[in-house]
Amino acid sequence: MNPLRALLVDDEMHARENLRMLIEEFCPDINIVGQASGVNEALSQITNINPDVVFLDIRMPSGEEGFEVLEKSKDLNFQVVFVTAFKDYAVRAFNANAVHYILKPIDIDDLMAAADKLSVYQKTLDENADSRSDYNASLRELTHNMKSNSHPAKLTLYHAKGFKIVNCSDIIRLEADGTCTHLFFKDGSRYTDTKNLKVFEDLLEPRIFCRVHKSFMINLLELSEYVHADGGEAIMSDSSRVPIARARLADFLAAVKRL
């Protein structure tokens, strides 16, 4: 595969130059074809050079928001790597969507890991039109969530060949398995994601999804029955039985009453 053609967007010249030098030294599969210092210049560059990937600063000192580039782009025919100095800023939204992000000051290992993922995703996007459509939808969803500061209605789940976008409302329950999480859906399917259960606890709407055990979360709207025994069991719409830890029982019952 040819090197990915990249555009760097940051209103601080030294930040762009630092990123350029790191990419040129450590990411041979990425070729920098342009730089932009703001939203309008970025939009112009995107139109003129049609990059494969945009490294996009989130909140620039000038006050511009990197998300404006996504809002104003007619066609999102590029991957995005968000670059941010704000460690906690928007991490929940990033984890819910098919985007990569790296923190300032830039860690070389993080940059190289992002570059590897970009190459894998590009192959999927080039070969599968549906994946391209899903990726664009994920970027639009991210922009919406950031503007409304809301919990996502959709999640992006990663797999070896790319990613899958699912509706949160279709999830019945989640089960921890080490550092991974198994998700069980209304249609009977099951999916394993590499994010741990705590990440999903932060991502999902807390009024609907309840952590009932160190290893389990449930969608309260898919709860069929509660059985009071040894702390309790939640019987779900797929007939599965989920244990409720004694320490979490009061929170569970309170969450059910709030529905």
101-135 confidence digits (pLDDT tens): 888 889 999 899 889 888 888 888 888 777 888 78
Which CATH number does 168-258 carry?
2.40.50.1020
| pTM across the whole model | 0.63
Boundaries of every domain in the chain: 4-149, 168-258
Structure tokens at 33: 């074809």
d(CA 63, CA 114): 26
Number of CB atoms found within 10 A of residue 241's CB: 10
Out of 1.10.1060.10, 3.40.50.2300, 3.90.650.10, 3.40.50.300, which CATH number does the structure's domain 4-149 have? 3.40.50.2300
| Contact indicator for 77, 135 with CB cutoff of 8 Å | no
Number of CB atoms found within 10 A of residue 84's CB: 19
Calculate mean pLDDT across residues 142-152.
66
Please report the pLDDT score of residue 240 as a whole number.
96
Q: Which residue has the tokens 């529905």?
A: 259
Number of CB atoms found within 10 A of residue 35's CB: 19
| Contact indicator for 216, 252 with CB cutoff of 8 Å | no
CA distance from start to end of the chain: 51
Q: Which residue has the higher pLDDT, 215 or 143?
A: 215
Strands 100-103 and 79-84: parallel
CA dihedral (39, 54, 30, 126) positive or negative: negative
d(CA 232, CA 201): 20
Please report the pLDDT score of residue 91 as a whole number.
61
Of the ranges 21-30, 49-58, 230-239, which is most confident?
Answer: 21-30
| Contact indicator for 53, 80 with CB cutoff of 8 Å | yes
The Cα diameter of the chain in Å comes to 65
